[in-house]
Chain A
Amino acid sequence: MAGIEIGRYREVARESLDNQTLQRALSGMQQRIGRATAQKYKELPEGPDLRFQAREIRLQTLAGLDVHLERLAERIRGRGGQVFFAQTGEEAVAYCLEVAARHQVRSVVKGKSMVSEEIGLNQALESAGIQATETDLGEYIVQLAGEHPSHIIAPAIHKTREEVGRLFADKLGIAYTDDPAALTQAAREALREKFLTADMGVTGCNLACAETGHITTLSNEGNIRMASTLPRVHVALMGMERIVPNLQDHDILFRLLSRGAAAQNLAGYVSSVGGPAAWDQVDGPEEFHLIVLDNGRSRILADPEFRELLCCIRCGACLNVCPVYGKIGGYAYGHPYPGPIGSVLTPLLSDIGRARDLCFGEALCGACRDACPVNLDIPRMLLALRHKCVQGCANWGVAPGASKQERMLYSLWARAVSNRSLYNKLLKAARWGQKLAPRSGGWLRKLPGPLSGWTASRDLPPMAECSFIEQWKKGKFHPEDHITR
């Protein structure tokens, strides 16, 4: 699949853990936005339970997704816009290139779009000799550095202002400064030129509304508005699930989106686009294209176990609270969807078997669920993915993945947990085994094989001489007096 990369979870996670700058940035970001979002939910007039209502709206919408999408398309076409339903990322890219070729496009300005990352649009445009410029400040920084976004909303969270200063001095030819205001001004000047000369604007879509037939985009920099109004052609990309039936539902999701994304009541710039500029409108493109992307989403929709995943509105709130993301940052998850949401979405959009580390490399703490504006049960879906990784799943083309040793271990374990006397024998063996481990202050400080990870940073207390159940069974039990270690 064009834009999706997986498979270096452990390696990149280790690199990130060693990167002190990144560690500080992640921790600061989570303390700021993670906490503020929880507070914003509490301050909602409807209270934090609005999240549950939003979830219901999303699930209801998914149940009639085809109808809502047709309605949206009909309205947009009615205003002279064009709507293309792309089955795959390749189809979406080909459509963009076709539009670009028809208009002899040489330069594209882009508003932030995760879908464009998913389908690898930038690379495709570059290969066709078309210059694509990201115009979200964070995305612009990341693009200049030749990198990918590491956070859905804060793409350059992994970069310090000093790094940005050096990057801008190198790429934009300005004198080195690490003053954020001066750096922003430099980017603004460079980007203004791009906006004014671009032939085509490409944006994402935060939310579409079937009733009114428009797409809504949010930004805090005004860049998406410029990208969608200044060039002659506007191409918007949306995942096929990103729609609500009516304005009332739109209002609820929309308010939660800003809170989840950036702990804001409302993003700085909100635009609604429903077609090209009408004859009496001064601003706006001559042509408007909406690409509705499937790229594996129908498959998720068809599976009741994962369908709720399509409720996601890509706000990134789960990244701002996840203890694992807070340590390893975005790159370990591969590209383009990081964090808890990525750990479920990426395997399902690419290849579950190859994305095993995404399925297992989470602590299942559930903080993501509480932070999610639509209460996605990410831990439940991770557990379902793990099950598929172990048992295999023909539907998703996953081969059974546990090693022979692991299978033997769990089958022995299953026999022991249903047979206390066998269980006791194994406990006895383990107690004997722990005598061999080196100790410090009575605690085990070095364990062998698969247990060695534990003692890399922790000691382990020794097992008690006799388990509680064994003591109880012997009838020796009397509170306090006879229970011994």
Chain B
Amino acid sequence: MPHESRPAQIKKISLFVQCLVDVYEPQTAASMVDIFTRLGLEVDCPTEQTCCGQMAYNAGHRREAAIAARHFVSLFEEAEAIVCPSGSCTAMIVHHYPQLLASDPKWAERAQRVAAKTYEFTQFLVDILGIQDVGAAYSGTATYHDSCHLARTLGIREQPRLLLNKVAGLSLVEMEDSDRCCGFGGVFSLKYPEISQAVLQDKVNSILRTGADLVVGCDLSCLINIQGMLHRQGAKVQAMHIAQLLGHRA
């Protein structure tokens, strides 16, 4: 099992910037750099990185996904700790890479090693660094969306809430069924848009019922999906990645 032993003293982290964050919301990654720098950590960011390959993996294109996996493993295997602002991509690396590369023992072992030191952003802050208060301040009311792979595959539910509770000026209200899928599901949202949309509408309704100004999550994929419908329907609620929120100061 990955993450069995806690690394004694991590001095440097390597950022794995999820492709969506990289392309759509660079400010979220910037905020992570800011937070880690303030915590006294050195931040590295391998510039050959691209995408974890989950999209291809979920679409059944395993050969292509394995190419992405091997690229990732080669780039990150020397890292002390790999931190990623996405539960979904972290789950891909931690759970699926070792299986995906299992047919070649050498690659399987390398994948295992990388998986064992890959962490989702909030998990790394709370479980590894033992930090809940990053000194953030934001005035408003937020509701938190549990993304599927983060909550169910990685079991990360408490960590983001602990962090949000320490944000000065922020009040957290729970939505109904916060861990109900938002309907994104990667290629699912493109292949079966009507079903995806119906599932998303329920999520949007739950968010709107809380009266919060912000919906916060740890996966930009869900957030783009949710914000996409909020925007289309003219709702004022803003979807925000937790790293971006935690970067706000008084």
- Bin the interface of chain B by size: 35 or more
- From A185-193, A274-282, A333-341, A456-464, give the one contacting chain B: A456-464
Interface assignment of B165: CB less than 8 Å from any CB of chain A: no
A-B contact pairs, 5 of them (CB 8 A): A324-B195, A364-B188, A367-B181, A383-B60, A461-B227
Residue of B nearest to A445 (CB): B232
Interface assignment of B134: CB less than 8 Å from any CB of chain A: no
A-side interface mostly: helix
- Report yes or no: A411 in contact with B64, Cβ–Cβ below 8 A: yes
A-B pairs with beta carbons under 8 A, tally: 197
Contacts of B198-228 to chain A: CB distance below 8 A: 198-202, 224-225, 227-228
Which residue of the partner chain, among B37, B70, B199, contacts A323 with CB atoms under 8 Å?
B199
Interface assignment of A196: CB less than 8 Å from any CB of chain B: no
- Report yes or no: A389 in contact with B64, Cβ–Cβ below 8 A: no
Q: A17-B198, A464-B23, A464-B24 are in contact. Are A362 and B185 (CB under 8 A)?
A: yes
Q: A420-B49, A458-B232 are in contact. Are A469 and B193 (CB under 8 A)?
A: no
Q: Distance (Å) between the CB of B97 and the closest chain A CB?
A: 13
Interface assignment of B104: CB less than 8 Å from any CB of chain A: no
**Residue of A445, A453, A484 ringed by the most chain B CB atoms within 10 A:** A453
Q: Distance (Å) between the CB of B231 and the closest chain A CB?
A: 4
Interface assignment of A441: CB less than 8 Å from any CB of chain B: yes
- Report yes or no: A477 in contact with B33, Cβ–Cβ below 8 A: yes
Hey, which chain B residues are within 8 Å of A423, CB to CB? 50
**Residue of A14, A369, A417 ringed by the most chain B CB atoms within 10 A:** A417
- Report yes or no: A479 in contact with B37, Cβ–Cβ below 8 A: yes
> With A and B bound together, what is the CA distance between A454 and B22 in angstroms?
20
Which residue of the partner chain, among A386, A391, A414, A460, contacts B228 with CB atoms under 8 Å?
A460
Given A450-B190, A457-B232, A460-B224: 8 more A-B contacts, CB < 8 Å: A328-B195, A361-B188, A365-B185, A367-B179, A414-B64, A418-B71, A453-B196, A463-B24
Q: Distance (Å) between the CB of B219 and the closest chain A CB?
A: 12
- Report yes or no: A479 in contact with B34, Cβ–Cβ below 8 A: yes
Hey, which chain B residues are within 8 Å of A324, CB to CB? 195, 199
Interface assignment of B27: CB less than 8 Å from any CB of chain A: yes
Interface assignment of A483: CB less than 8 Å from any CB of chain B: yes
Interface assignment of B76: CB less than 8 Å from any CB of chain A: no
Q: A363-B185, A453-B189 are in contact. Are A468 and B232 (CB under 8 A)?
A: no
Q: A363-B183, A363-B185 are in contact. Are A468 and B229 (CB under 8 A)?
A: no
Which residue of the partner chain, among B17, B148, B181, B187, contacts A469 with CB atoms under 8 Å?
B17
> With A and B bound together, what is the CA distance between A364 and B20 in angstroms?
19
Hey, which chain A residues are within 8 Å of B82, CB to CB? none
**Binary per-residue interface labels of chain A (446-485) against chain B in the complex, 1 for a CB within 8 Å, 0 otherwise:** 0000110110111111011011110111000101100111
Interface assignment of A74: CB less than 8 Å from any CB of chain B: no
Interface assignment of A294: CB less than 8 Å from any CB of chain B: no
- Report yes or no: A417 in contact with B47, Cβ–Cβ below 8 A: no
Q: A460-B224, A469-B22 are in contact. Are A363 and B198 (CB under 8 A)?
A: no
Chain A residues with a Cβ under 8 A of chain B? 10, 13-14, 17, 27, 323-324, 326-328, 360-367, 369-370, 383, 386-391, 402, 410-411, 413-414, 416-418, 420, 423, 427, 441, 443, 445, 450-451, 453-454, 456-461, 463-464, 466-469, 471-473, 477, 479-480, 483-485
- From B51-59, B117-125, B167-175, give the one contacting chain A: B51-59
Hey, which chain B residues are within 8 Å of A473, CB to CB? 47
Q: A463-B23, A480-B30, A480-B34 are in contact. Are A363 and B17 (CB under 8 A)?
A: no
Which residue of the partner chain, among B197, B231, B247, contacts A441 with CB atoms under 8 Å?
B231
- Report yes or no: A418 in contact with B62, Cβ–Cβ below 8 A: no
Residue of B nearest to A474 (CB): B47
Hey, which chain B residues are within 8 Å of A468, CB to CB? 17, 21-22, 26, 29-30, 45
Interface assignment of B236: CB less than 8 Å from any CB of chain A: no
Residue of B nearest to A447 (CB): B190
Residue of A nearest to B45 (CB): A472
- Report yes or no: A467 in contact with B231, Cβ–Cβ below 8 A: no
Interface assignment of B158: CB less than 8 Å from any CB of chain A: no
Q: A387-B62, A468-B17 are in contact. Are A370 and B152 (CB under 8 A)?
A: yes
> With A and B bound together, what is the CA distance between A452 and B179 in angstroms?
27
Hey, which chain B residues are within 8 Å of A364, CB to CB? 58, 148, 185-186, 188
Which residue of the partner chain, among A323, A363, A461, contacts B24 with CB atoms under 8 Å?
A461
Interface assignment of B184: CB less than 8 Å from any CB of chain A: yes
> With A and B bound together, what is the CA distance between A364 and B181 in angstroms?
9
- Report yes or no: B30 in contact with A479, Cβ–Cβ below 8 A: yes
Hey, which chain A residues are within 8 Å of B45, CB to CB? 468-469, 472
- Report yes or no: A485 in contact with B27, Cβ–Cβ below 8 A: yes
- Report yes or no: B47 in contact with A469, Cβ–Cβ below 8 A: yes
- Report yes or no: A454 in contact with B228, Cβ–Cβ below 8 A: yes
> With A and B bound together, what is the CA distance between A434 and B48 in angstroms?
24
